Structures are given as structure tokens and as C-alpha cells.
Homo-oligomer: A and B are copies of this chain.
Amino acid sequence: MDKKYTIKDIAKMAGVSKGTVDRVLHNRGKVSPTALEKINEVLNVINYEPNLIARNLKNTKVYRICVLLPDPEIDTYWLPCVNGIQDAITEFKAYSVIIETYYFNPESTKSFLSTNEKIIRQSPDAVLIAPLFHKETVEIIKQYDELEIIVNTFNNQVESSSIKSFVGQDLYKSGRVAASLMNLILTDGQIAIIHIDESLKNAVHMQEKEKGFRNYFDEKKLSDFSLTTLKLKYSNIETKFPAFVEENPNLRGIFITTSKAYQIASVLSSIENRKIALIGYDLIEKNVNFLNQGLVHFLIHQNQKRQAYLGVSTLVEHFLFRKEIPETILLPIDIINVENASFYVS
């Protein structure tokens, strides 16, 4: 039943040599109809599963996987990804796989393109990309496609038939989750949706979250709330945001669509007499600090570490164990408050 058969076993059973069995299994070379039938008969009865260990031992081909993501020194948001990739490296170090990480400057499309060129020069078997820049990504993917390099993406979704896989989160639904939590904290009043970002590279990201957030309130017909959208940059938060709070005395809640909730929380902490509910994204240290202080009510965990890990590991398992690469992996939308945060911070 669960006995493990080897090629040798099959050969003996079919009364041929292991070479012939091998030829049938990989349909290479010529095999007589007689031998083919005998072997197929055996294969139909037993359930042959090649020993992946033995296969991998013999396999001298070294697979190269390149990962491209923004420099975590420029944006610490990407730090967990590095850990996730490190996990994958550790896990697969025994196998003939090389996993290399490349960083680009998230503020520069040029840097993105030039680092891609650098990767292409390495002629990898596959790449995992955080496609921050939509247009440039579509462009560069053509090149990968021509070179028959498998392209996986994570964090940002880019539509392209050349992309084998995407690992990320349903942003629209994560907006809805945030809305459902906000609706639990508040009963009425004004809610601001704040987008904080230097450039527009996260535009789609942020819009999807806003859509989901607004859709929840529309759908539930929660007419006691009024929703406002506000766009801020790092540089003008300290001036524009306090003014906004001043102008909107009925403001009760804020949904921050990026990982910069701590910047809002920091400003709010200096404004007395205003209790405003905050919901943001990502368990970066500063956010968790404000969560523990009670200034941030909920964080939505996007689990970038696991995103990056899965992005790499599905590729490795594809090469080593011939597993299918899943087209999309949507990670759960983890709801974090002060009580369960410690279990998610790795």
C-alpha cells in the first residue's frame, strides 16, 4: 500500500532493466511496445513516487533566485521581508539553490530599473519582485519573459500574463476589515481616511484600501458617519495635520492606509482633549509602541515577512520538488490590538 517502490523494483517486476524503466518514466529514447506495456502494467498497479532526495542529490544544476525589494535602510517597512528571505535561505541551504537579495531605492524608478538590469546579468532562473512602480514593472517583465526567467511578485499586485505568481493581501477587504473595527469603536462622527506617502508609488495600494473602507460604510448605510479623505506627505504632517484636526471638531476616527500611523499618533499625542480612534497598518516598532500606549486602537498586519518567505519558497519548491507555483496567495488579514500584538511581532 504505502510501500516505497524504486526504479529497481519496477525493473524487476517488469522483467526489464532500470535503464528501460527510466526511459519510460521520462519518455526519452526508444522503447519497444512489449517493454512499454510491461512497465505500464506495473506502474498502473503500484504507485511510484520518485525519491526526491536521491533526485536532488544527483542534480548538479544550481538554481539561482534573485529577490528585488526596496532598501530596508531607506524604508524600514521592508525589514521583515529580509527576515522572511533569510528564513528561506536557511531552510534551503542544503539544496542547490542560490537566493540573492537586491535592494533598490524606493524613491527612484531609475534605481528600480538599473537593479533589475543587474539581476538580469546574473541570469537567474527566477526572480521575486516587489513591483513598486507599475509602469516600469510591466516594462522590465517583458525582458524577463523573453529570457524565460520566472517572475513572481509580492506586496503589490501588477496585472501581467508574464507573472507566474503573486503573494499579498486583498487590500480592498483589508479596508473593509478596518471599517468594521472602526464601526465598533465609534457610533457616529467624522472619520478621516489619511494617505501618507512621499510619492505616488503606493497610490493603487492606498486607493484599494480606501475603497474597501468606504464601501463598508456605504453598504451598511451607516449614515451617522461622515468620511473625509486627506493626503499628507512626511514633510507636511506636522503643519497640515494639526490644522485639519482643528478644523474638524467632530473628527472621531482616523484610518491610515500606510504603515505611518505612528506619525499621526505622535502628533495626536500632543493635542490634548481629543480622543480620536486610530487604525493603521503594519506591526513596525513605532506603531506597536503607540498601540501599547493606547493611542492606536488596531493595526492590520500585512505579514510581509511571510509574503517574502512564501514568494521565495514556492519558487524553490517548484525547482526542487516540481511543485506547482500557486497563481495567487492571499494572506489572512490579521487584526491586531494591544492584547494579541506580542504574538505577531517576530
Contacts and interface: CB of A to CB of B under 8 A. Distances in A.
B332 A334 contact: yes
A54 B57 contact: yes
B180 A339 contact: yes
Interface string A173-190: 100110111001100000
Most buried by B among A49, A185, A336, A339: A339
Interface of A is mostly: mixed
A103 interface: no
Interface in A61-96: 93-95
Contacts of A53: 53, 56-57, 94-95
Nearest to A277: B184
Interface string A96-108: 0010000000000
How many copies make up the complex? 2
Interface string A329-346: 011111111111001100
Contacts of A180: 337-339
Interface residues of A, number: 36
Interface of A: 2, 49, 51-54, 56-57, 93-95, 98, 170, 173, 176-177, 179-181, 184-185, 216, 321, 330-340, 343-344
A320 to B, nearest CB: 10
A2 B180 CA distance: 49
A16 to B, nearest CB: 24
A334 B334 contact: yes
19 contacts: A2-B98, A49-B93, A53-B53, A53-B56, A53-B94, A54-B57, A57-B57, A94-B321, A173-B343, A176-B339, A177-B339, A179-B339, A184-B185, A330-B343, A332-B334, A332-B343, A333-B339, A334-B334, A334-B335
Nearest to A331: B343
